[in-house]
């Protein structure tokens, strides 16, 4: 086992490379790099990596499983923002809302009702993004593109929930260019909803881009980049 200090230095160097990629991508499309937030996706990496990442300056973390997130982020960590980025099963909706600051994967009104109740109980405001299946792959969760606008327009206001934007996962084809169309579609939908104002007046965010497609995501307007592999290394699925 390497020490937390050594691991923190590694993670810091890796994150710096990612931040340089972000800065360069922003320069290409004349965006302010401060308009892009980096979410450190620590899923499947140990708690010691979360500690090391915090030492390396991380403030935004992404986890895709509620139980794992709960295990790693149950102690209060001041200054740390937790993003639940994976699909949440109905029996974990309450737990998810209690531990998360942001949930990126909302795709039903039933989930929102539970998130409202849990957020009210916790005296917090929960920021939510709606996941859209822009790649139209059967294995991916999220709203179907054809349903997104009607679904969003049917939403009621919830006292403890802020509607913040849209999220998608790129096409898993090996060619990041294949994700561009879906990203651009998502951006247009975000713009349309934000223009409506009201409960969508804070609908400013686009959670798109991961290790392999962050440059394209930034060119298409990403405000939240979710990076795992490029910071923490490969995940061991065995």
Ligand X SMILES: *Cc1c(COP(=O)(O)O)cnc(C)c1O
Residues at the contact surface with ligand X, assessed by CB under 6 A: 41, 43, 64, 85-86, 169, 210-212, 226-230
Which residue, 126 or 167, has its beta carbon nearer to ligand X?
Answer: 167
Q: Tell the smallest beta-carbon distance from residue 64 to ligand X (Å).
A: 4
Which residue, 19 or 113, has its beta carbon nearer to ligand X?
Answer: 19
| Residues 104-129: b if buried by 16+ CB within 10 A, e if exposed | bbbbeeebbebbbebbbeeeeebbbb
Instruction: Please give the structure tokens belonging to residue 100.
Output: 């998360």
Distance CA 41, CA 22 (A): 16
Handedness of CA 136, 184, 225, 194 (dihedral sign): negative
Q: Tell the smallest beta-carbon distance from residue 83 to ligand X (Å).
A: 9
Task: Determine what percent of the chain falls in helix, strand and coil, rounding each to the nearest 5.
Answer: 45, 15, 35
Q: Shortest Cβ contact with ligand X: which residue?
A: 228
Q: Tell the smallest beta-carbon distance from residue 238 to ligand X (Å).
A: 16
Q: Tell the smallest beta-carbon distance from residue 237 to ligand X (Å).
A: 11
Which residue, 128 or 210, has its beta carbon nearer to ligand X?
Answer: 210
Which residue, 85 or 118, has its beta carbon nearer to ligand X?
Answer: 85
Which residue, 178 or 212, has its beta carbon nearer to ligand X?
Answer: 212
Measure Cα distances from 80 to 12, 61, 170, 182 in Å: 16, 7, 26, 30
Instruction: Please give the structure tokens belonging to residue 197.
Output: 């104002």
Q: Tell the smallest beta-carbon distance from residue 198 to ligand X (Å).
A: 28
């Amino acid at each position: 086992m390497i020490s937390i200090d050594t691991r923190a230095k590694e993670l810091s160097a890796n994150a710096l490379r990612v931040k340089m990629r972000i800065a360069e991508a922003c320069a290409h499309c004349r965006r302010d790099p401060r308009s892009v937030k980096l979410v450190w996706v620590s899923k499947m990496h140990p708690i010691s990596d979360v500690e090391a990442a915090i030492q390396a300056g991380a403030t935004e973390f992404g986890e895709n499983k509620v139980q794992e997130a709960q295990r790693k982020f149950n102690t209060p960590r001041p200054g740390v923002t937790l993003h639940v980025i994976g699909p949440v099963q109905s029996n974990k909706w309450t737990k998810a809302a209690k531990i998360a600051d942001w949930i990126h994967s909302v795709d039903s009104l039933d989930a929102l009702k539970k998130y409202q109740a849990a957020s009210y109980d916790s005296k917090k405001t929960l920021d939510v993004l709606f996941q859209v299946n822009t790649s139209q792959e059967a294995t991916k969760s999220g709203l179907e593109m054809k349903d997104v606008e009607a679904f969003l327009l049917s939403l009621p206001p919830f006292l403890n929930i802020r509607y913040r934007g849209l999220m998608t996962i790129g096409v898993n084809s090996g060619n990041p260019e294949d994700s561009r169309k879906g990203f651009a579609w998502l951006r247009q939908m975000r713009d349309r909803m934000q223009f409506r104002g009201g409960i969508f007046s804070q609908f400013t965010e686009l959670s798109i881009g991961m290790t392999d497609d962050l440059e394209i995501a930034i060119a298409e307007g990403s405000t939240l980049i979710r990076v795992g592999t490029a910071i923490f290394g490969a995940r061991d699925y065995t």
